[in-house]
Amino acid sequence: MFVNKMAYPDTFIIAGLKLKGKRNAVRNKLEVPYSVAPDVGVGDVIAQKSGTREILLKVMNVSFLMVSTFDTGTRHPYLLSLNIENMTAQEHAESNNASTTNNGSPFGDKVRIGNHNKQVANVRLQQLIEKVAESNDQEAKFLIKTLLRNSTVESVVGASVSVLLALLYA
């Protein structure tokens, strides 16, 4: 059997094991041949050895492929395929630190002003319905009931529609 060191030139530390593999940084993919599957899962952080340094990689997806290497360039028959995210590079990436101002809203949540002149208001649907139910505004109650009975809204909100409607009839 022919073992080609260039087929899998990179060294990785996965669950304490030193393994050879190949990383495609552009596609955020990592391939590691194996005989016994290493203990690795989504969310794990593995290290790629780069000289005396390490590049930390977060596992985003894992596939254990059987009979995938066909013994090409390695003595291991199986291939571990990982989608990864370079955590070391993220530390050095430029961040967008736009000026942001947070102000309270009548519903107790926050309104965020900033970030390229966008305004974002976050109000939970239940909070909105509770406030409308407490009010004497019949038009608002009618509009909310109509909205909640809409088939598209029902499919998005799900089973909690009946609970929300009950708040308006209480």
pLDDT tens-digit series, residues 138-169: 898 888 888 888 888 777 777 677 777 777 77
- pLDDT surpasses 80 at 85: yes
Let me know whether 98 and 59 are in one domain: no
* Residue 46, both tokens: 């593995």
- Whether the pTM exceeds 0.85: the reply is no
**Range of 101's domain?**
94-122
Within a domain: 1: no
* Residue 14, both tokens: 């996965």
Within a domain: 61: yes
- Provide the pLDDT for residue 99: 54
Let me know whether 66 and 117 are in one domain: no
Let me know whether 45 and 115 are in one domain: no
Strand, coil or helix: what is 127?
A: helix
Within a domain: 110: yes
Instruction: Count up the domains in the chain and report the number.
Output: 3
Within a domain: 4: no
Let me know whether 85 and 18 are in one domain: yes
Within a domain: 3: no
What does the pLDDT look like over 8-50, one tens digit per residue?
Answer: 888 999 988 898 989 998 899 999 888 888 899 899 999 998 8
Let me know whether 150 and 117 are in one domain: no
Q: Specify the DSSP element, H or E, that contains 147.
A: helix 138-149
Q: Which residue has the higher pLDDT, 110 or 8?
A: 8
Let me know whether 79 and 139 are in one domain: no
User: Shortest CA distance to 39 belongs to which of 21, 16, 18?
Assistant: 16
Within a domain: 104: yes
Let me know whether 29 and 43 are in one domain: yes
Q: Indicate the pLDDT class of residue 60, thresholds 50, 70 and 90.
A: very high
